[in-house]
Chain A
Amino acid sequence: MTIFSWQFALGYLILAPFIGGFMTGLDRKISARMQGRVGPSLLQPFYDVSKLMQKETKIVNHLQQFMVSSFVIFVAFTGALFFFGGDLLLVFFSLTLAGIFYVLTASCANAPYSSLAAQRELLQMMAYEPMVLLAAIGFYLATGSFAVKDIAAADMSGIVMLPGFFLGFLFILAIKLRKSPFDLSTGQHAHQELVQGLNSDLSGFVMGLVEIAHWYENVFLFGVVGLFILNSHVWSIPVALVVCFLVYFLAILVDNVSARVKWKLLFTSAWIVTACTGVVNLLVVSLLHLAK
């Protein structure tokens, strides 16, 4: 039994912005409760984007619109391909391409804060990319296929064979979600050292599009988390949803209790964690294959 199909992909394209926005609202509410505040309404992210869409858009460089649109399109494509059940490698490559468009959005503004943030974003990509690729390889070793459809239809959940990959992926998830301690290039919380990082020179409609792209991205990322849990049984679907929620809660908790790290620490820790979790797990799985 597999839920990955073109209907699921279409559902993602239509519903992901709503689910993603709702997740962001939940994040802000839970964060506020952790800090002893009441916090904004759950719909606040939608109010924010609706306001941004209504505001004047100050364009610094006309290339920006093109780059931001490409960012949104490729993020949506990444998710759609994933939920269609496509090739995991292609999914991750298209995610990287989307990320590069986002970097270019900032660097074409030709402004000091945006440029610095663009460099930091590239650095972050360098830090998490090995783990992302390893995850794809891990899924292949565990299930014998790169296709999301087949991975989700395996008899055994991926996490049984790939616990190390799962932990490593959780670590880089904090980078991808742009949460403390890894919100170096930009973050949802105001008062960054780099003004607003990658978003410093975006305003109005363009900024609204970036927010929507992040929502698409977040839903996709939790799709990957769920893929570790899914198997051929129907009950794995609710379990996957619960795991996704717990992981999100953990990310919010870490976000609230940690301060931003320097880029060197981000880079070395990401690679060390990748080596200790992903690579070790990879070796174990390969040895098991040899022994068979």
Chain B
Amino acid sequence: MAKMSKSPWVLHYDAASCNGCDIEVLACLTPVYDAERFGVINTGDPKHADIFLITGGINEQCKDVVKQLYDQMPNPKVVVAVGICACSGGVFKETYNILGGADQVVPVDVYVPGCAARPESIIDGIVKAIGILDEKKAALKEGRLDEYEAAHCKKKQQEVEA
């Protein structure tokens, strides 16, 4: 069987972004970058998606939507936060309605910094996500996906603290 990483289907959700990052996400699919070369499809359906791209910070209104989309995606799945807003809240961090980055509601696997994140770095983030997807698939097969996610979260936290 071919690896899952050969066909990463992406779900792109605009949380509370300024649209800067969204334009860059779409730029990845244009002839210049042509992410479809690697089998990437920008799907609109969470039930078909493998990678969840979130742009923009999370606010009170969209937090349930993000959670819902994440829950609807079948395992294994990977979450990528694109842009500094999705990573931490960015320039909007202190505003009254922003809760923070995407990791406030769903576990994030890859953080792509930048304001706006450049297509090169987004593709880089997706490539990282693809690697994690294969790891998660292996973990799922052995029935230790929860363990893997917990260990993964801990590692990321340590990185952030360091």
Interface check A258, CB cutoff 8 A: no
- Which residue from A35, A48, A57, A190 sits with its C-beta under 8 Å from B74? A57
Task: Kindly list chain A residues whose C-beta atoms are within 8 Å of the C-beta of B43.
Answer: 190-191, 196
- The tally of CB-CB contacts under 8 A between chains A and B is 85
Complex contact A32–B48 (CB within 8 A):
no
Please, how many angstroms separate the alpha-carbon atoms of A191 and B42 in the complex?
Answer: 7
**Which of B32-40, B57-65, B99-107, B117-125 is the interface stretch?**
B32-40
* Complex contacts, B38 vs chain A, CB 8 Å: 40
Give the residue among B6, B47, B74 with the most A Cβ atoms within 10 A: B47
**Most chain A CB within a 10 A radius of its CB, from B7, B42, B75, B76:** B7
Q: Give a binary string over A177-216; 1 marks a CB under 8 Å from any B CB, 0 the rest.
A: 0000000000000111001100111111001000000000
Interface string of B59-82 (1 = CB under 8 A from A): 000000000000010111000000
Contact partner, A51, options B34, B50, B75, Cβ 8 Å: B50
Considering the complex, give the chain A residue whose CB is closest to the CB of B72.
A58
For window 195-243 of A, CB contacts with B under 8 Å fall at 195-196, 199-204, 207
Q: Which residues of B contact A41 (CB under 8 A)?
A: 39
B2 is an interface residue with CB less than 8 A from chain A: yes
- Complex Cα spacing A48 to B45, Å: 15
A6 contacts the other chain (CB 8 A): no
In chain A, positions 10-64 with a C-beta closer than 8 Å to chain B are 28, 32, 35-41, 44, 46-48, 50-58
Known contacts A48-B39, A51-B2; decide if A36 and B31 are in contact (CB<8 Å). Answer: yes
In contact, A54 and B47 (Cβ under 8 angstroms): no
The interface on chain B, measured as residues whose beta carbon lies within 8 A of the other chain's beta carbons, has a size of 26
A201 in complex: contacting residue of B2, B37, B47, CB < 8 Å? B47
Separation of A39 and B47 alpha carbons in the complex (Å):
24
Point out the residues of chain B lying under 8 angstroms from A201, CB to CB.
47
Would you call B72 and A195 a contact (CB within 8 A)?
no
Interface presence of B44 (CB below 8 A) = yes
Q: Looking at the assembled complex, report how far the CB atom of A119 sits from the nearest CB atom of chain B, in whole angstroms.
A: 19
* Binary flags per residue of B88-125, CB closer than 8 Å to A gives 1, else 0: 00000000000000000000000000000000000000
- Does B137 reach chain A (CB closer than 8 Å)? yes
B159 to chain A, nearest CB (A): 28
In the bound complex, what is the Cα–Cα distance between A58 and B76 (angstroms)? Answer: 12
Docked-complex contact B6 and A47, CB < 8 angstroms: yes
Inside 8 A of A32's CB, which chain B residues have their CB? 34, 36
Least Cβ–Cβ distance between A196 and chain B, in angstroms: 4
Rounded to whole angstroms, the CA-CA distance of A190 and B40 in the bound complex is: 11
Residues of the B chain whose Cβ atoms lie less than 8 Å from the Cβ of A48: 7, 9, 39
Q: Could you mark each residue 1-39 of chain B with 1 if its beta carbon is under 8 Å from any beta carbon of chain A, else 0?
A: 110101101000000000000000000000100101111
Whether a CB of chain A sits under 8 angstroms from the CB of B41 is yes
- Measured CB to CB, the closest approach of chain A to B142, in angstroms, equals 14
Proximity string of chain A (227-270) to chain B, C-beta cutoff 8 Å, 1 when within and 0 when not: 00000000000000000000000000000000000000000000
Given known A47-B2, A47-B6, A47-B7, contact A39–B36 (CB-CB < 8 A): yes
In the A-B complex, list the 9 residue pairs whose CB atoms are closest, starting with the nearest: A47-B6, A56-B74, A203-B47, A196-B45, A51-B7, A56-B75, A47-B7, A190-B43, A37-B34
